[in-house]
Amino acid sequence: MSHARTLVNVTKAEDIARKIFLHDLNVRQTEKLIRDLHDQKKQNKRYKNHDISIIEDNISSKLGLDIKINDSNYK
């Protein structure tokens, strides 16, 4: 029952459930796995497109102001 709770609202829950079953993970290990996957996903979203950063730097140096470009793909 508790294994199922950790999989609620998780993308690719079926794949994760297979991994839990194959590796015979207990509830604590399952919770850690979900937490690690969630943290990894967060880290991947933190990086801004390199091209956007270069454009920001160029505009900032020319205007002498702090410039932030909001990229719709960057969250």
> Under DSSP, is residue 50 helix (H, G, I), strand (E, B) or coil?
helix
Q: What is the pLDDT of residue 53?
A: 86
Q: What is the pLDDT of residue 22?
A: 92
* Side-chain half-sphere CA neighbours of 27 within 13 A: 6
pLDDT digits over 13-62, tens only?
A: 888 889 888 999 998 998 898 888 887 776 666 667 788 889 999 999 99
Q: What is the pLDDT of residue 44?
A: 62
Report domain extents, the chain: 2-63
Q: What is the pLDDT of residue 1?
A: 47
pLDDT at 11 over 70: yes
Question: Residue 48 carries which DSSP code?
Answer: P
What single-letter amino acid sits at 44? N
